[in-house]
Chain A
Amino acid sequence: MNDPGHSEGLRSVVRRDDGDVEMDPKIQEILGRALKAHYDDLVGAPIPDRFLVLLAELEAKEARDGR
């Protein structure tokens, strides 16, 4: 990221005295929304049966073994 030659034209990102990079809040906001949209889309997918079956089997086995 600290490659001035490569980052030609980059105006939305600045480097502070402490070396940290500070990004335009508006870009941060857009990226933040995109990130949430990406993640929430995945979270919203239905849970495959295989996981419910797996956990039910584990629990049944535990009950059977009398633990």
Chain B
Amino acid sequence: MADNRSSVDFRERLIAEIPNLRAFATSLSGSIQSADDLVQDTLLKAWGHADSFVEGTNLRAWLFTILRNTYYSLYRRRGREVQDTDGIYSGSVAVPAGQDSALDLADFRLALAKLPEEQREVLIMVGATGLSYEETAEICGVAVGTIKSRVNRARTKLAELLGMTNSSDIGPDRNSLAVVHHGRVTTLAS
């Protein structure tokens, strides 16, 4: 870093991203303990490689890239996948779903943890972090089309895991749940 001033600025900006780094790391690893180790490694690497961050680009995307690479190279091999997901989050707060069918947050998290990692990570990035499909594609090193297809598969799998497969399961308004038609429609139940 060039001088103390820019170093202070960079630190402030890193601090501002910590909540997002922890949320992403927890979603990815399924464990808050692993998540905090992962965030610490990410901050150390980010600090050490601050010169390679290009001003004007998305700092969050840059940090997520570091975090994700660290996770796949170091953490994932530690052998934990999905098992101890219950109990790691603070509570089972009801999802504020508005008027109709709320999902229980704990149920949702269990289902989320059961998704394959490559689907879970993109669903989180695209659906919750504010990153674009393009940024997500760059972080994951794959084409935008691949991201879209992973997001679709993730949603479908989640709906299945949560039992949202019958119109009667998800709310009183059956009519609004009509299947969306796009050309020739083939239901998966056929």
Among B73-81, B135-143, B169-177, the one that faces the other chain is B169-177
Chain B residues closer than 8 Å to A42, beta-carbon distance: 19, 22-23, 26-27, 89
Known contacts A4-B190, A38-B108, A63-B7, A33 near B97 by CB under 8 Å: yes
Classify the interface of chain B: helix, strand, loop or mixed. helix
User: Interface size bucket, A side?
Assistant: 35 or more
- The answer to whether A11 and B165 touch across the interface, beta carbons within 8 angstroms, is yes
Contact of B15 among A23, A35, A41, A47 (CB under 8 A): A47
Interface residues of B (CB under 8 A from A): 1, 4, 7-8, 11, 14-15, 18-20, 22-23, 26-27, 36, 39-40, 43-44, 47, 89-90, 93, 95-98, 100-101, 103, 105, 108-109, 112, 123-124, 127-129, 149, 152-153, 155-160, 164-167, 170-171, 176-190
A-side residues, CB < 8 A to B, are 1-4, 7-17, 20-28, 30-45, 47-48, 50-52, 54-56, 58-59, 62-63, 67
